[in-house]
Amino acid sequence: MPQFTLSEGQAEKLRAEMTRVKSSQVYRRAAALLAAHQGFSISNIASLLGVTRQTVYNWIETYSPEGKRLDLSDAPRSGRPSLWTKEIDELVMRALASSPQSLGCPASQWNAATLRHHLELALGRAVCDETLRRRLRRLGYHWQNGRYVRRNDSSLNQPMPVMETPAPAPICQNNYVDAAVA
């Protein structure tokens, strides 16, 4: 492959990109392009950055002077679809609106472990504590004084829509542990 060259303006844009970028991937791409422009071998660049030579060649091809492409970030990706649905959100909100004891759980207050166990029994599959906590935050709940409460944001305190489905039957087991961990 012939020597990769950039105009002085392109090289300056890459240097500026490296000073303001927050993504390590974009920083590495800019560093690779500048190193290739300065005459470093592709093998040395790849070795220093911990990537394959083909990856460096791909970056150079993408940012060739003919293309004048300045965006070194990854293209948007959809990722794996979430397994968490609005129905699960509604199940969580219904559970938090009632006491654990009314659903057959011996716990006096909802905490992450109690709520997770309740959801696992209702859904028939595992629920991650961190996923549950993240969803609770998105639903406007936070941990306060040993229980989950809704934030006082007026947009979050809208009346809950009337659910057409009946309240869930008690599903908690007596072998339930009332964990104090949130």
Q: Over the stretch 9-23, which tens digit does the pLDDT of each residue have?
A: 888 988 988 899 888
**E runs forming strands in the chain:** 141-144, 147-150
Q: Would you mind telling me the total number of residues written for the chain in this entry?
A: 182
Share of the chain above pLDDT 70, in %: 78
To the question of domain 8-62 being in CATH 1.25.40, the answer is no
What six digits make up the tokens of 119? 């959801």
- The pTM of the whole model exceeds 0.75: no
Structure tokens at 132: 């549950």
HSE of 73 in the Cβ direction (CA atoms, 13 Å)? 9
Q: Is the pLDDT of residue 148 over 60?
A: yes
Nearest of 3, 128, 121 to residue 65 by alpha carbon: 3
| Domain spans of the chain, in order of start | 8-62, 82-176
